Structure formats: C-alpha cells, structure tokens
C-alpha cells in the first residue's frame, strides 16, 4: 500500500506499522480483509508530553550524556523523541486457524487532531475508542456514539493526560455548589 | 372472560443469533412508541455483578432498548501505574480483576519481563502455571455460584464457595495470603512451594473432578436451568470475533481461540490439555464451557505436580531481582542492591510491549510503554470484561427482563476490571 504506511518497526513483541491518520481506515480494512486481522485486541492512546525528560540518569551536559549520574547505574537510555504528542495504537490479531500473528498499527497525532474511528472495521472498537476519548481526549471522527464512558458526563479534563494534575486539585462532584 | 392484553412475546425464535445493532454496536436505541418505560437497573443491583448500570427501555416485560454504562468503580489504576516504580506496580495488578487476580499479575509481570528481557527459571514457570490454573478454577467457581444465585439455585452457591475456599487455602499455603498474593515477581516467584503443598494439592485434584460432576448433575440437565439458559444470548462466531469476545465467551461459539495454545507462554506448550469449545454460543454453552474447563485445569495441575522440575525459583540478575533475605546480613553488595531496588527501582530500556495471557475471562493484555525511567510511561490493560459487556445490549433486546439478567451473568464480567 504505497504512501499509507510510513514506518515499520520490528519491536520486541510484534511488528509496528506507522500509518498516516487519513489512511487509517484504508489500511485497517486491508489488514482485516487481506491479512486476516479480524480481531481488535486493544486501542491504546499514549500521551508523550514530556516523554524522556525525567529519565533519571540522563542529565544533558555540554559534553553529552552523563551516564554516571545518581540513579543511572550507567544503564539509562534516552528515548527517541516522538514526532507528535499523541500516539494511538491498535493491537490486531488473527483469530481462527493458525497462529495469532499479532501486529500493531499506530498513528501519530497532535493535540486536537482527529483520527478516523475504526468502528466500521471492527465493531468492538466502540467502547475502546470511547474509553480513550474519555481518559486521553483523543477525538475519533465518525464514531457513532462518542461520549464519556468511564468518567461522569460533566467531568472536566482527561485524566490520563500527562498535564492533568495529580493531587492538590479540587475534587469534582456532580451538582456541587 | 379476561380481557387483559399480554405483552408481546419475544419475536426471535430460540437459537437465532443476536444481530449487531446499526449505529453504535454496543447500544440499542429504543423504537419510537408509546407505552414504553425507561428503567434504570443498577448501578447497585444484586444481579449486575458489581456496579454495572443498564438503562433499559421496556415494552411491557420485553426489553426493546438498552444502553450500558460503566465506570462506577473507576479507580484510576492506569494513572497509578504511571506514578509507581515497576516493583510497586505488582501490588496494583491483582486488584483490578479481583476474582482472577493471579492472571492479572501474570500479565503485568510478563510484560515487564519481556521489556527487560529477563529469563525466568523453569521451575518458576511451572509454579506459575499451577497457580494460574488454580486461579481459573477459583474464578469459574465464583461465576457458577453467583449465576446459580441469580437463578434461585442457592445451594450451588454454597457448594461452589466451599470448593473456592479450598483453592484459597492452597493459595494461602504457598503465598501467605488468600487473594492478591504478589507471588509472581520479575524473574520468578517470591518463594518456593512450602512443605506439604504437594499433598494438599493432590487431595484437591482428587476431590475436584467429583465435585464438578456434582455441579453438572445438579444443573446441566435441570429443566429449570435449561429453560432459563438455552437459547439466551446467542451470538454467531463471526459476530463474536467482530465484537472482540474472548475466552469462554468466544469458545462457546465454537472458535477454539485460547492463548494457552495460540500464543504459548509459561509451561503450557509442554502440557496436555483440551480446549473446551461449545456449539451454539448461548448462555448454556458458556456455562458448559466454563464448567468443563475446570476439568482441564485439574488435569493441568496434576501434570504440574507430576512433572514439576527442580531448581531455582528466581532469576539471579541482581539488577532486577531482590537478593535473598539471608544475604543482606553478610553481603554489602546485596544490601546496596536491595536498597537501590526498593527505593529507586530499576530502569527499563525505552520501548513498548503488549503481553496477553488467557485469564479466566479471556484475553487479558498488558500494554506497557517505557521511556527509559524507573516507572512505566503508560500502562494500559485490555480487560476482557470491559470488551464482553459491550454485547449486553444486542443479546438482551427482544427478550424478557429476566433473560437480561442471565445474559449479564453468563458474560461473567467483573466490574473492577472493566472500569479499572
């Protein structure tokens, strides 16, 4: 599929395909119909805000990495910086005869950028996408029922984002004064 | 002469599979019409297995619209994992699905082990397999007992909890606690099996198949049980896969998808056991699948006891594994390693991993992202209950309210896991 898959990585568990968001449906339909990936295991959104900044042992100095800084044990590695803030990763498998042949499809998104919903391809994506929308704030365009699933309907913010405060924030109650 | 009009009978004949509704697949919109009432089942309702809320539209006694709402026991597990070192995460994992606690620990520990690339000794793999199967029996017993109560079969509940207690005694013997044991750790298991465990476990293996026979005698041919379970919540193979069902819910439709076979882990490739499948994919087949799976679990446990290899139960890589307690008194290095591991944790190379295991409820997957630090950057769990509860709506419509209770019970959802 020329032009759709922009990256391929072997990975320690399964291969990862990087796909342009606008081509996602096309690639997923191809994977389902031609490659037998009929089972969507999970949809996982990841927020990379501040990714790698707090890796203890990596202290950027003028000379480069200081591997002997406290906490590093000489083993710390800095990760590659992600191209965009959010990644949405779809874990696919083949269910039927033969091995599961797992594969991961990922798209990179900026904050506020929409990704097409894969509910037409795998109906099970319904709640998966609602959960990620609820907790991570990724908008799935074309989802038939994109509402909060886990948090209360009137909740502010998306708790799994890295910039969501931990502790110290006022507790939200429905109908509070 | 009576002039009372009876509510319409369910339109579908028995055993016709449910259809995925148009629009949102996990929700059925009620038709426009008068005389429909919308009722709120739950979140606190004895039949919802926790705190599941079902917004049900009724035409008489027949369900015509349903929207399930979850999130009432959301406790932010995934956010918590991000704030704790990998070590501390092990205590969080079993508290998600508190009925299948051991499977959750295995998924999390397995995912971290895959990320750091540590070898687990063979004996530890076999011990884990043994407890994973004991846990499967435990979970299926809780399922069977609670669904018995829902049908009014109170005695089944007591029988099942009697055997469940035996399983928990075995857990207590080896791990020190009855549930949430923190027994598997990165690189192996916390301690070797105690003296007397084999004998106790063999007694259990001898007793358990007879007890399963009893359950089947009591329920499988019981006309009340059959009339309440057969043809209820039927789903076809294709729809079950499309809706992401796994575990006994999927196997009841005839798809032999079992991660113990398809993605071999632990000692399962070396073990001899059958994957139990059903035919029609209704609540009755799901019940039979789970009950008969207990026989297979007993078989696996017996093989584990017979063929348990000897050797260490913990890896030796001190960068990840706590040193033995006795060494702390004599070895400076061990003391330092212990201190560092407990206070700072260990660093994990940047990367991501998805590690699924066959929990009693289906495919329980742990997805971890590491940025190179001592805490997971992101932890996400593929909870089988979360996925399987999506089919409640399509299975329940055009049925009586009482059948909806059977549908929810037969999907065997645990809300702690669905909401996380």
A145–B23 C-beta distance less than 8 A:
yes
Closest residue to A55, CB basis, from B24, B353, B372: B372
Least confident of A60-74, B152-166, B221-235, B284-298: A60-74
A46–B78 C-beta distance less than 8 A:
no
Which chain A positions have a beta carbon within 8 Å of B378's beta carbon? Answer: 44, 46-47, 160
From A117, A144, A121, A120, select the one nearest B23 (Cα to Cα): A144
State the Cα–Cα distance between residues B60 and B48, nearest whole angstrom: 21
From B156, B402, B120, B101, select the one nearest B267 (Cα to Cα): B120
State the Cα–Cα distance between residues B213 and B298, nearest whole angstrom: 13
From B237, B262, B261, B265, select the one nearest B250 (Cα to Cα): B237
**Confidence bin at B262 (pLDDT 50/70/90):** confident
pLDDT value, residue A60:
47
**Confidence bin at B151 (pLDDT 50/70/90):** confident
Chain A within 8 Å of B76 (Cβ-Cβ)? yes
**Confidence bin at B88 (pLDDT 50/70/90):** confident
Q: What 3-state DSSP class applies to A18?
A: strand
Closest residue to A51, CB basis, from B241, B344, B371: B371
pLDDT value, residue A73:
53
Cis ω for the linkage preceding B81 (within 30 of 0): no
Contacts of B349 by beta carbon, 8 Å cutoff, 6+ apart: A77, B115, B116, B370, B372
Torsions phi, psi for A123 (to 5 deg): -60, -25
Q: Please report how many Cα atoms fall inside a 13 Å half-sphere around the Cα of residue B239, on the Cβ side.
A: 19
Q: How far is B200 from chain A (nearest CA, A)?
A: 37
pTM of the model: 0.89
Q: Which of residues 1-30 of A touch B (CB under 8 A)?
A: 11-14, 16
Say yes or no to pLDDT of A88 above 90.
yes
- Region of residue B257 (phi > 0: left; psi between -120 and 50: alpha; otherwise: beta): beta
A14–B347 C-beta distance less than 8 A:
no
Pairing of strands A103-109, A16-19: parallel
B182 touches B90 (CB < 8 A): yes
ipTM here: 0.85
Which chain A positions have a beta carbon within 8 Å of B355's beta carbon? Answer: 13
B305 touches B200 (CB < 8 A): no
Say yes or no to pLDDT of B49 above 80.
no
Which H or E run includes B88? helix B86-92
pLDDT value, residue B231:
83
Residue-wise pLDDT tens digits, B233-248: 888 888 899 998 999 9
CATH class of B77-315+347-411: mainly alpha
Chain B within 8 Å of A119 (Cβ-Cβ)? yes
- What spatial distance separates the first Cα and last Cα of chain B, rounded to whole Å? 55
Q: Please report how many Cα atoms fall inside a 13 Å half-sphere around the Cα of residue A26, on the Cβ side.
A: 10
Q: Please report how many Cα atoms fall inside a 13 Å half-sphere around the Cα of residue A115, on the Cβ side.
A: 27
State the Cα–Cα distance between residues A148 and A136, nearest whole angstrom: 11
Give B400's DSSP letter: B
Residue-wise pLDDT tens digits, B64-85: 889 888 888 888 899 889 888 8
Least confident of A161-175, B160-174, B213-227, B278-292: A161-175
pLDDT value, residue B341:
84
**Confidence bin at B209 (pLDDT 50/70/90):** very high
Q: What is the mean pLDDT of residues B169-182?
A: 89
State the Cα–Cα distance between residues B225 and B333, nearest whole angstrom: 63
Angle, CA B293 vertex, CA B288 and CA B298 arms, to 5°? 140
State the Cα–Cα distance between residues A106 and A90, nearest whole angstrom: 6
From B363, B32, B417, select the one nearest A150 (Cα to Cα): B417
Q: Which of residues 15-54 of B touch A (CB under 8 A)?
A: 20, 23-27
Q: Parse chain A into domains and list their residue ranges.
A: 5-114
Q: Parse chain B into domains and list their residue ranges.
A: 77-315+347-411
**Confidence bin at B347 (pLDDT 50/70/90):** confident
A124 touches A40 (CB < 8 A): yes
Q: How far is B116 from chain A (nearest CA, A)?
A: 10
Chain B within 8 Å of A144 (Cβ-Cβ)? yes
pLDDT value, residue A57:
45
State the Cα–Cα distance between residues B414 and B418, nearest whole angstrom: 6
- Region of residue B26 (phi > 0: left; psi between -120 and 50: alpha; otherwise: beta): alpha
State the Cα–Cα distance between residues A36 and A38, nearest whole angstrom: 6
A77–B349 C-beta distance less than 8 A:
yes
To the nearest whole percent, how much of chain B has pLDDT over 70? 96
Say yes or no to pLDDT of A58 above 50.
no
Chain A within 8 Å of B354 (Cβ-Cβ)? yes
Torsions phi, psi for B324 (to 5 deg): -60, 145
- DSSP-assigned beta bridge partners for residue B53: B69
Say yes or no to pLDDT of A4 above 60.
yes
Contacts of B85 by beta carbon, 8 Å cutoff, 6+ apart: B344, B345, B346, B374, B375
In A3-86, which residue ranges form alpha helices assigned H by DSSP? Answer: 24-34
pLDDT value, residue B211:
92
From A152, A40, A126, select the one nearest B70 (Cα to Cα): A152
Contacts of A76 by beta carbon, 8 Å cutoff, 6+ apart: A55, A56, A57, A58, A67, B347, B372, B373
Largest distance between two CA atoms of chain B = 94
Say yes or no to pLDDT of B11 above 60.
no
Residue-wise pLDDT tens digits, B366-411: 999 988 778 888 999 999 999 999 998 888 888 888 888 888 888 8
Contacts of B250 by beta carbon, 8 Å cutoff, 6+ apart: A95, B240, B241, B257, B362
A91–B24 C-beta distance less than 8 A:
no
To the nearest whole percent, how much of chain A has pLDDT over 90? 23
* Per CATH, domain A5-114 is 3.90.180.10: no
Closest residue to A52, CB basis, from B117, B352, B371: B371
In B258-414, which residue ranges form alpha helices assigned H by DSSP? Answer: 259-262, 283-307, 332-343, 384-388, 392-396, 401-411
């Amino acid at each position: 599929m020329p032009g759709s898959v922009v990256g391929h990585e072997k990975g320690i568990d399964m291969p990862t395909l990087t796909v342009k968001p606008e081509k996602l449906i096309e690639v997923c339909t191809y994977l389902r119909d031609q490659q037998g990936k009929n089972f969507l295991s999970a949809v996982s959104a990841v927020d990379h805000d501040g990714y790698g900044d707090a890796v203890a042992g990596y202290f950027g100095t003028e000379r480069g990495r200081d591997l002997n800084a406290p906490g590093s044990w000489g083993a710390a590695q800095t990760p590659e910086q992600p191209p965009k803030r959010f990644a949405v990763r779809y874990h696919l498998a083949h269910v039927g005869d033969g091995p599961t042949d797992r594969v991961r499809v990922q798209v990179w998104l900026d904050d506020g950028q929409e990704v097409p919903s894969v509910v037409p391809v795998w109906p099970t994506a319904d709640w998966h996408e609602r959960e990620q929308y609820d907790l991570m704030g990724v908008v799935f365009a074309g989802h038939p029922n994109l509402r909060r699933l886990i948090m209360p309907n009137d909740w502010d913010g998306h708790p799994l984002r890295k910039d969501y405060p931990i502790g110290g924030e006022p507790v939200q109650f429905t109908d509070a004064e | 002469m009576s002039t009372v009009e009876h509510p319409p009978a369910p339109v579908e004949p028995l055993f016709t599979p449910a259809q995925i509704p148009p629009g949102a697949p996990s929700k059925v919109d009620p038709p426009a019409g008068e005389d429909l009432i919308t009722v709120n089942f739950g979140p606190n309702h004895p039949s919802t297995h926790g705190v599941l809320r079902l917004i049900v539209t009724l035409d008489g006694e027949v369900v015509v619209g349903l929207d399930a709402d979850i999130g009432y026991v959301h406790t932010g597990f995934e956010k918590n994992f991000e704030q704790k070192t990998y070590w501390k995460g092990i205590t969080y994992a079993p508290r998600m699905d508190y009925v299948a606690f051991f499977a959750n620990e295995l998924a999390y520990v397995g995912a971290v082990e895959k990320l750091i690339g540590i070898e687990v000794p063979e004996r530890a793999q076999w011990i884990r397999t043994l407890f994973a199967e004991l846990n499967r029996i435990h979970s299926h017993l809780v399922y069977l007992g609670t669904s018995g109560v829902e049908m009014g079969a109170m005695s089944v509940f007591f029988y099942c909890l009697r055997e469940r207690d035996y399983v928990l005694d075995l857990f207590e013997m080896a791990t020190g606690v009855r549930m949430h044991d923190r027994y598997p750790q990165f690189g192996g298991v916390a301690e070797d099996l105690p003296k007397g465990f084999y004998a106790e476990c063999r007694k259990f293996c001898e007793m358990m198949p007879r007890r399963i026979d009893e359950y089947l005698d009591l329920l499988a041919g019981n006309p009340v049980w059959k009339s309440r379970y057969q043809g209820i919540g039927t789903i076809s193979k294709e729809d079950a896969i499309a809706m992401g069902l796994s575990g006994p819910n999927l196997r009841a439709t005839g798809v032999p998808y079992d991660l113990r076979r398809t993605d071999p882990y632990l000692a399962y490739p070396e073990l001899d056991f059958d994957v139990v499948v059903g035919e029609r994919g209704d609540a009755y087949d799901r019940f039979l699948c789970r009950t008969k799976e207990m026989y297979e679990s007993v078989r696996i446990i017996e093989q584990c006891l017979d063929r348990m290899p000897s050797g260490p139960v913990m890896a030796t890589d001190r960068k990840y594994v706590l040193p033995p307690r006795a060494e702390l008194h004599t070895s400076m290095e061990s003391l330092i390693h212990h201190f560092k591991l407990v206070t700072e944790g260990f660093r994990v190379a940047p990367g991501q991993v998805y590690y699924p295991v066959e929990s009693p409820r289906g495919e329980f997957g742990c997805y971890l992202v590491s940025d190179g630090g001592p805490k997971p950057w992101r932890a996400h769990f593929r909870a089988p209950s979360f996925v399987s509860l999506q089919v409640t709506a399509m299975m329940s419509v055009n049925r009586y309210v009482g059948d909806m209770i059977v549908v929810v019970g037969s999907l065997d959802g645990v809300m702690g896991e669905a909401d996380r």
